[in-house]
């Protein structure tokens, strides 16, 4: 049996995913309202396929428990996954307090059979070795005797999380005890994919290496687009399409090559915070990662570039229509979205008339960013509200209905129209 602590994007996908593979799963979240919503069969974010799978799980082998039932879940489970957020602290380091508190609050309730504690939260290298393991040992739990301990990073894309979990390309597990290795190897057998066992720090490092590589690819593409703009006769969209046709990219999944395509900066919850946290962790060792610092610098500069391009074309008194508020299409996630920074910079420049539309993320954007921005409910309404339109998210709807707008009035910073 499995218990999943934390039912956010990663935790809920993990809980539903293991239940779909035939395991009995208990899910717990400290937020009672969120837990009740999930218990009713709804999810607090948009993720294709996940809600349908949740319904199936709830009617079979998935149980969302509250505080009063958590002890039963912990006692009867063999594996405890921790999917608790590790947000950036004020200095940019990963804030581990929520994760440590969750482990401390639950590990004291372990009874009966041996447990394997699995950290699925994104944590910097050496966190499990130097923070989590000592914490469990201070509670009197011997690793490999009383409990197993492992790190199992996730590699989920928002908008594709369900398919990524159910059909992963590989599973990475950091552990150094036989209990964890045997338990997790058996747990992942139904997935029929390679399972790689590495050290704690290697598993943690691989996760950060993955996210910072993606961030680097995005910043590379954005810097190249800014350089191209200095010349008068370069079609940026065409140039990047031709770049991706290089035979050395043959066999590379389209989802990977899509990161080497210009836009207006990376956002979301993971890439910005994980890149900064990894920089801070590297600095603790005495290494100053110049490339990754440049990645973040370019990510800020491209937003200034977007605003300068808008300002060069749009008079201050005109209304600007913002198309896209989510950080990526197919998601209602507005955490760290470039649209927020771009709107803020436009307002600082003196633009007072801004109208926004997103097919899915307007309520989330309003809740997270209290800008004085008007909102419309359709592209048809937008066509009547703003003369100049700025594309910040590559929603397919914008391409399908681009006939609603005058070609010369659209500034496409996703280069996809």
In contact, 212 and 295? CB cutoff 8 Å: yes
Q: What gap in Å lies between CA 348 and CA 210, rounded to an integer?
A: 35
**What phi and psi values does residue 214 have, to the nearest 5 degrees?**
-60, -45
Which of 83, 175, 264, 270 is labelled catalytic? 270
Q: Determine the straight-line distance between the first and last CA of the chain, rounded to whole angstroms.
A: 49
Q: Does the pLDDT of residue 172 top 80, yes or no?
A: yes
Please check whether the domain covering 208-412 is classified as CATH 3.40.50.720: yes
175 is catalytic: no
Q: What is the pLDDT of residues 281-319, one digit of tens each?
A: 999 999 999 999 999 999 999 999 999 999 999 999 999
DSSP category for residue 94: B
DSSP string, 199-216: -HHHHHHHHHHHHHHHHH
Residue 36: partners with Cβ closer than 8 Å, 6 or more residues away = none
For residue 340, the model assigns a pLDDT of 97
**Residue among 94, 71, 81, 89 at smallest CA distance from 10:** 81
Q: Which regions of the chain carry the CATH code 3.40.50.720?
A: 2-198, 208-412
For residue 408, the model assigns a pLDDT of 86
For residue 18, the model assigns a pLDDT of 98
Neighbouring C-alpha atoms within 13 Å toward the C-beta of 97: 5
Confidence band for 111, pLDDT divided at 50, 70 and 90: confident
Q: What is the pLDDT of residues 43-67, one digit of tens each?
A: 999 999 999 999 999 999 999 999 9
Which residues line the annotated binding site for substrate? Answer: 155-158, 207, 259-263, 267, 328
Please check whether the domain covering 2-198 is classified as CATH 3.90.1150.10: no
For residue 104, the model assigns a pLDDT of 95
Q: What gap in Å lies between CA 189 and CA 224, rounded to an integer?
A: 44
For residue 258, the model assigns a pLDDT of 85
Worst-scoring range by mean pLDDT, 111-115, 205-209, 228-232? 111-115
Q: Whole-prediction pTM value? A: 0.93
Q: What is the pLDDT of residues 332-383, one digit of tens each?
A: 999 999 999 999 999 999 999 999 999 999 999 999 999 999 999 999 999 9
Residue 385: partners with Cβ closer than 8 Å, 6 or more residues away = 319, 321, 355, 374, 376
Which run of H or E residues covers position 93?
none
Q: What is the pLDDT of residues 125-166, one digit of tens each?
A: 999 999 999 999 999 999 999 999 999 999 999 999 999 999
């Amino acid at each position: 049996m499995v218990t999943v602590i934390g039912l956010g994007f990663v935790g809920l996908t993990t809980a539903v995913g293991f239940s779909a593979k035939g395991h009995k799963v208990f899910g717990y979240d400290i937020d009672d309202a969120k837990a009740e919503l999930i218990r009713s069969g709804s999810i607090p974010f948009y993720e294709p396929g996940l809600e349908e799978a949740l319904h199936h799980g709830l009617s079979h082998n998935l149980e969302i428990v509250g505080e009063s039932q958590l002890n039963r879940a912990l006692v009867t489970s063999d594996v405890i996954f921790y999917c608790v957020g590790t947000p950036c602290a004020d200095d940019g380091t990963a804030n581990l307090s929520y994760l440590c508190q969750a482990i401390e609050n639950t590990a004291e309730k372990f009874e009966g059979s041996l447990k394997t504690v699995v950290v699925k939260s994104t944590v910097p290298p050496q966190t499990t070795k130097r923070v989590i393991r000592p914490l469990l040992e201070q509670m009197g739990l011997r690793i490999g005797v009383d409990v197993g301990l492992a790190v199992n990073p996730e590699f989920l894309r928002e908008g594709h999380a369900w398919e990524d979990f159910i059909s992963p390309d590989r599973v990475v597990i950091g552990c150094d005890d036989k209990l964890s290795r045997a338990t997790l190897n058996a747990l992942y057998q139904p997935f029929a994919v390679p399972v790689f066992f590495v050290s704690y720090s290697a598993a943690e490092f691989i996760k950060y290496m993955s996210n910072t590589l993606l961030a680097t690819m995005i910043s590379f593409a954005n810097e190249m687009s800014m350089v191209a703009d200095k010349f008068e006769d370069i079609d940026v969209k065409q140039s990047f399409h031709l770049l991706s046709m290089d035979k050395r990219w043959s066999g590379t999944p389209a989802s990977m090559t899509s990161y080497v395509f210009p836009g207006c900066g990376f956002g979301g919850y993971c890439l910005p915070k994980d890149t900064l946290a990894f920089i801070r962790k590297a600095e603790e060792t005495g290494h100053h990662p110049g490339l990754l610092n440049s990645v973040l610098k370019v990510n800020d500069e491209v937003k200034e570039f977007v605003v300068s391009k808008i300002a060069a074309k749009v008079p201050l008194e005109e209304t600007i229509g913002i198309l896209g508020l989510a950080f990526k299409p197919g998601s209602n996630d507005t955490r760290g979205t470039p649209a927020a920074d771009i709107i803020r910079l436009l307002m600082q420049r003196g633009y007072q008339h801004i109208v926004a539309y997103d097919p899915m993320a307007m309520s989330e954007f309003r809740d997270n960013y209290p800008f004085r921005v008007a909102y419309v409910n359709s592209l048809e309404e937008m066509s009547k509200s703003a003369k100049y339109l700025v594309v910040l998210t590559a929603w397919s709807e914008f391409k399908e209905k681009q006939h609603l707008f005058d070609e010369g009035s659209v500034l496409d910073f996703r280069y996809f129209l």
